[in-house]
Amino acid sequence: MGNHAKPVRIAALGMEQRTYSTLQLFFHGHCQDSYVLVEEKSADISIIDMDGFQAYRMLEEHKKHYPDQPSILISLSDNKAHDAVYVRKPIQLEALSSALRSAKKRLQQQPVAKISVPKISVKEVAEAKASVAKNTAKNTPKLQTADNTPNAVPPVLNDVIHRPKTVVKHAKPGSNHFNQYRYAADALTEDTDIELIDTKLAARFNPLNPVQVAKFQYQSKQTLQGYFQQAYFMALQKKRNIVLKGAWRPITILYKSKQLRVEKNFRHLYALSGMFFDKSEVSIAVLDNSVDCEPSIHETVLPAEPFLWKLSMRTSRGRVPVDTNFTAPIKLIRWPNFTRTIVTPHALRIAALWAKRPTSLVDTANYLAIPLQYVFIFYNAAVSLNFVTPEMAKKDRTTTSSPPVKRHQYRKIFQDLLDRLRNN
């Protein structure tokens, strides 16, 4: 944490939970905590999602109560109706940073007296958050979401609370923001997650520098991804159904069909991807084969592999599990079923390369001339499903001497065809 100045307090309003989590991550990681998410009443600046249910009403209310608070509006469409700063989704890192800078400038131009609430420290903010974190999903009032999904689970705070057993209530019933929370289309926030990855960060990555290595690794075993992975492969190996419990509604793994029984609103599980859970908070139980595994009316059945793939992709955020060897050649054992699973950036090229000639993570980025973090995202998802395996590194190399695969004589034709396939 390199920034000791008082953080600027930001209220995130009308935000789908994953956008909220992503913002949080962005403030914490990229901005080194120079911004912090707080409640609306104690904020200096607000960021408002204009694609939410009743977003305009919420904006009007907000303007009425906090006329001097600079606001940044984010939206899928180009809406210039208000004199606020607009940032288009999917959010580009640079666009958001510059919007924040200009909002901050406006804030500094305001007379001090207008900032009515006392300044609070990061510690106070964290405490405030912890205190709202008391509500469990159980005693949270049912939220009516825009798509009429009842009982949506409110946004989860991660990063701040290290081992949360609880989910955080983001809107009070009766408040103007009561209806704001909804599940947005999947694609939106996935793009947003990836867009928010600062690809310059790994531009001069040196696999021999432990400080840099640590930055791009995470304790995968302590994430939902890690526990799920453990439970899933245990189910396949034991040929038994397994139930995974923790700070989420139980997930039942059906080994035979490689499916999951999860609550209907399973999408919030992806938002848990940024959290760490202690072993004591998670249980993995083998079910008796006689247990009835039919889904209840609150549940749905999903294919397990695409779920784990997506969860790992979300968890990665451009990082790989601890102990990943950055210079060992990676071999592709199995192509992911790409028509039915998310194609992460450059996934097809990476997969093809690793199928043809095992190549290390670092060399892959060099050879394909793509950001290292995209290689990490693909690797993280693929390794969680055992689709790839590192081979023993022959020697520690950090640079590629020659391209691992030679240029095909018909490359130009293939390139033309690729462009044609993309264009229509």
Q: Are 1 and 33 in contact (CB under 8 A)?
A: yes
User: Is 406 exposed, middle or buried (CB count within 10 Å of its CB: 0-12, 13-18, 19+)?
Assistant: exposed
What's the residue count for the chain? 424
Give me the sign of the Cα torsion angle 282, 287, 292, 294.
positive
Chosen residue from 57, 63, 349, 397 binding other proteins by CB under 8 A = 349
Stretch 89-148 residues interacting with other proteins (CB under 8 A): none
Considering CB under 8 A, how many residues would be counted as binding other proteins? 39
The residue (of 312 and 341) whose beta carbon lies closer to other proteins is: 341
Contacting range for other proteins; rule: CB under 8 A; set: 185-193, 291-299, 312-320, 350-358: 350-358
Measure the CA–CA gap between 314 and 334, rounded to whole angstroms: 21
Is 355 a binding residue for other proteins by CB under 8 A? The answer is yes
Name which of residues 256 to 315 contact other proteins (CB under 8 A). Answer: 258, 305
Angle between helices 304-316 and 224-238 (to 10 degrees): 150
Evaluate the CA torsion angle 173, 177, 178, 182 in order and state its sign.
Answer: negative
Give the residue, chosen from 83, 288, 294, 419, that forms a contact with other proteins under the rule CB under 8 A: 419
| Binding status of residue 185 toward other proteins by CB under 8 A | no
Near other proteins in 325-344, by CB under 8 A = 332-335, 337-340, 343
Closer residue to other proteins (CB): 59 or 388: 388
Pairing of β 388-390 and β 248-254: unpaired
CA atoms within 13 A on the CB side of 320: 21
Binding residues for other proteins restricted to 367-386, rule: CB under 8 A: 367-368
Contact string (CB under 8 A) for other proteins, positions 384-403, x = contact: -------------------x
Residue with smaller CB distance to other proteins, 20 or 378:
378
237 CB-contact burial (10 Å; exposed 0-12 / middle 13-18 / buried 19+)? exposed
**Which residues make up the interface to other proteins (CB under 8 A)?**
258, 305, 332-335, 337-340, 343, 345-346, 348-353, 355-356, 367-368, 403, 405, 407-408, 410-411, 413-422
